Each structure stands twice: as structure tokens, then as C-alpha cells.
């Protein structure tokens, strides 16, 4: 039986914030939000990022020992949505690398955030985890050396790119009322700019 996290209070806050944001971003990905609701979502993402930054400042990266595996994943989801704070995302990437070495976070989380930081720096992504929602659905963001993509994905425990893209396609076309999926689901999509929806896919 897993041990209790050291800070269940922080864990509850992270889980609640991430779940509320996830629901907003699912609706956003399906075009179900008004402009006012989109702006509210942006404000919530900003507030969540500021909260996480305070937690990181006091405790370091909130890993499994501090908050439990689910809340650690919630912290990762929050930082993925912190595109307006690229310096904080890069700091989190460094902290995540150390957390992975200590068994406090997963290497898949690190790979997703690595790709996110690369895109925000104007570079191509390495692991093919990031996409934009275009007029015809999900569009992959440029990938560095695509001929070696699946080998890199395997090295960090990600499924083959074609498998991830098919799972993403199914998730994007599923009705909003549909229940949870058993597919690999690391995609908590989020927007970077008003006219561009960006997300993360397994």
C-alpha cells in the first residue's frame, strides 16, 4: 500500500486546480467555449502557474513523496499550461530531470515538458509529443530528425508515434459526454495564444 504523501494539503490543491483546468481545456479543444470563458481559462492557468511557482520555491518540484503520484502529475499538467512563463517552464524542466533521477517523477513527463520548452524557444521538438489544433484537426509541431523519432520515443518509454497520433485522433473526435479512456492519455491540451490551441499527446 503506498505511503501517504508528506503534504496532502498541497496534493489536494494541485489535484483540484488541475482537474478544473482539464475540463476547461477539453471544452476548448472542441470549440465549446465563448471568448469570455476562454479568457477566464487563461486567468485560471496564470493563477495555477503562480501557485505552482510558490510551491516550487518552498519545496522544490512537488514529486511523489511530497504530494503523491497523482498530484505530482497534476503539477506537471499545470506547468505544461504555463506558456506565459517560459523561464518557469525551463526551471521546472531542470527540476523534473532531477526528480526523474530520484524516482519522484516520470521520464515521460520530462519528455513532454522538454518538447514544450523547445517549441516555446522556437526550436523543433525532440519526442513528437506536442501538437496544434488547426482547421483540419490536430497538426504536429515540427520535429527534429523525424527519421529517428521512434527510437527517441522508445528511449523515454513513449509509444510509437503512429500509435500516439491515432489515439489522439480518436480522442479529438470523441463526443464530450464520452467516459474515461484506457488509451495512453497524456494529452491535457492547452492554448498558447488566442488564435492557436496547443496540446500534448502521448
Whole-number pLDDT of residue 184: 37
SS3 label, residue 110: helix
The count of domains in the chain is: 1
- Domain contains 171: yes
Q: Is 1 domain-assigned?
A: no
Full-model pTM: 0.86
Alpha-helical runs (H) found in 60-184: 64-67, 69-80, 86-101, 107-120, 149-155, 161-173
Angle between helices 8-29 and 69-80 (to 10 degrees): 50
Return the pLDDT at 35: 93
Per the structure, the complete domain to which residue 27 belongs is given by 8-200
pLDDT along the chain (202 residues), means of 10: 85 98 88 92 96 98 98 98 96 98 98 97 96 83 97 98 91 55 36 46 70
Let me know if residue 3 belongs to a domain. Answer: no
Instruction: Give burial (CB, 10 Å; 0-12/13-18/19+) of 99.
Output: buried
Rounded Cα–Cα distance for residues 35 and 69 (Å): 34
pLDDT number for residue 193: 27
- Secondary structure (3-state) at 174: coil
- 130's enclosing H/E stretch is strand 130-134
Q: Is residue 121 part of a domain?
A: yes
Residue 156 in domain: yes
- Supply the pLDDT for residue 181: 32
Q: CA nearest 116: which of 92, 150, 136? A: 92
40 within 8 A of 34, measured Cβ to Cβ: no
Terminal-to-terminal C-alpha distance of the chain: 28
- Provide the pLDDT for residue 170: 85
Return the pLDDT at 191: 30
Amino acid at each position: 500500500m503506498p505511503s501517504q504523501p508528506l503534504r496532502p494539503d498541497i496534493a489536494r490543491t494541485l489535484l483540484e486546480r488541475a482537474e478544473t483546468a482539464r475540463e476547461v481545456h477539453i471544452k476548448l479543444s472542441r470549440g465549446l467555449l465563448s471568448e469570455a470563458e476562454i479568457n477566464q481559462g487563461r486567468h485560471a492557468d496564470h493563477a495555477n502557474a503562480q501557485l505552482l511557482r510558490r510551491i516550487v520555491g518552498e519545496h522544490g518540484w512537488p514529486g511523489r513523496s511530497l504530494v503523491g503520484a497523482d498530484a505530482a502529475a497534476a503539477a506537471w499538467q499545470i506547468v505544461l499550461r504555463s506558456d506565459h512563463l517560459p523561464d518557469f517552464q525551463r526551471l521546472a524542466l531542470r527540476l523534473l530531470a532531477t526528480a526523474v533521477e530520484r524516482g519522484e517523477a516520470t521520464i515521460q513527463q520530462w519528455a513532454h515538458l522538454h518538447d514544450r520548452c523547445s517549441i516555446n524557444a522556437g526550436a523543433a521538438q525532440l519526442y513528437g509529443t506536442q501538437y496544434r489544433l488547426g482547421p483540419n484537426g490536430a497538426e504536429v509541431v515540427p520535429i527534429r530528425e523525424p527519421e529517428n523519432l521512434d527510437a527517441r520515443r522508445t528511449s523515454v518509454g513513449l509509444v510509437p508515434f503512429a500509435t500516439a497520433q491515432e489515439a489522439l485522433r480518436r480522442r479529438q473526435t470523441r463526443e464530450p459526454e464520452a467516459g474515461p479512456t484506457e488509451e495512453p492519455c497524456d494529452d491535457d491540451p492547452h492554448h498558447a495564444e488566442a488564435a492557436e490551441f496547443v496540446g500534448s499527446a502521448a
